[in-house]
Amino acid sequence: MPRLNKPPSRPAIVLAEPDFDRLARLAEAGCDWDLDVAEELRAELERGRIVPLARLPADVVRMGSTVTFETDAGQTRRVTLVYPADADIASGRISVLTPVGTALIGLRVGQSIGWTARDGRSQRLTVLAVDA
């Protein structure tokens, strides 16, 4: 019997308590203007392990982190994860309310995750480095 290709499972993620609280409110508010991304953020928050900020490992992507990641196409990008009001793609500041921003939150160095770009293409990224 042929095996069905199962999509890879999502990696475990860790969230700092203050980030979780603010992101939960943001996901709720986002339902009014971008339901798909808000729902994806909400799903990420629901599966995350919440820890006090003092116990968050240094290699976890959190709000304000500068992250270096590699795409499945072999491109390396360095971005800072920010709240929507601080986003500026030309400066490498991406909003957590973008598909790639939502995919990055809570990941650790070495972890990979699949995400769907706004154009509908499925992509995969791997976190290479995290700077506070």
The separation between CA 33 and the C-alpha centre of its own chain, rounded to angstroms, equals 19
Contacts 24+ apart (CB under 8 A), 1-9: 7/114, 8/112, 8/114
Look up the pTM and report it: 0.86
Per-residue pLDDT 10s for the chain (132 aa) are 444 554 557 899 999 999 999 999 988 876 556 667 788 889 999 999 999 999 999 999 999 999 999 999 899 999 999 999 999 999 999 999 888 999 999 999 999 999 888 788 899 999 999 997
Domain boundaries, the chain: 14-131
Instruction: Determine the pLDDT at residue 23.
Output: 93
Beta-carbon-side half-sphere exposure of residue 19 (alpha carbons within 13 Å): 28
Instruction: Determine the pLDDT at residue 3.
Output: 47
Q: Is 70 helix (H, G, I), strand (E, B) or coil?
A: strand
Q: Which CATH number fits domain 14-131: 3.10.50.30, 3.30.750.24, 3.90.105.10, 3.40.190.10?
A: 3.10.50.30
Instruction: Determine the pLDDT at residue 31.
Output: 54
Q: What are the residues facing 122 on neighbouring strands?
A: 116
Instruction: Report strand pairing: 122-131 vs 66-71.
Output: antiparallel
